[in-house]
């Protein structure tokens, strides 16, 4: 079952400069330019660093406080979009990144939301 982002959540995400990619016990700070809100249920994520394993669970955390929210954590189900596919080319249009620098591109379905 997927969760949906509200307008408040989207505004909060848009106010952020960075987000945190949570993988097990590790936390990697990334620029917001590597994440795109596709719609209320999905994100696109480009990875320009070390490859994320298909079996590895990830979450997205936003924690730059605003008057409305302090943090928002999104549990996600990920699907890698393969380089060279039409879907990959279409999704890459949302990012200002050279294709040669992109290690992986994911479609992330939001499975849970936890806000504070």
User: Is residue 2 a part of any domain in this protein?
Assistant: no
Task: Identify the CATH number of the domain in which residue 18 sits.
Answer: 2.30.110.10
Residue 95 domain-assigned (yes or no): yes
Q: Is 59 inside a domain boundary?
A: yes
- Domains of the chain: total: 1
Taking residues 77-99, report their average pLDDT: 95
- Which tens digits make up the pLDDT trace of 20-61? 999 989 999 999 999 999 999 999 999 999 999 988 999 999
Over pLDDT 90: what percentage of the chain?
91
Where does the pLDDT of residue 101 fall: very low under 50, low under 70, confident under 90, or very high at 90 and above?
Answer: very high
Containing structural domain, residue 34 = 7-115
Residue 1, pLDDT score: 54
Q: How far apart are CA 52 and CA 103, in angstroms?
A: 9
Instruction: Examine residue 1 and state whether it is found in any structural domain, yes or no.
Output: no
pTM of this prediction? 0.94
pLDDT at 12: 97
């Amino acid at each position: 079952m997927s969760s949906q982002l509200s307008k408040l959540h989207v505004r909060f995400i848009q106010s952020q400069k960075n987000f945190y990619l949570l993988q097990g016990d590790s936390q990697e700070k990334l620029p917001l330019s590597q994440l795109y809100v596709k719609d209320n249920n999905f994100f696109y994520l480009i990875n320009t660093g070390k490859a994320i394993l298909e079996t590895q669970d990830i979450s997205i955390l936003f924690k730059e406080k605003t008057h409305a929210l302090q943090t928002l954590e999104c549990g996600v189900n990920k699907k890698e979009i393969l380089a060279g596919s039409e879907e990959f080319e279409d999704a890459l249009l949302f990012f200002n990144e050279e294709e040669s620098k992109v290690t992986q591109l994911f479609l992330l379905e939001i499975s849970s939301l936890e806000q504070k």
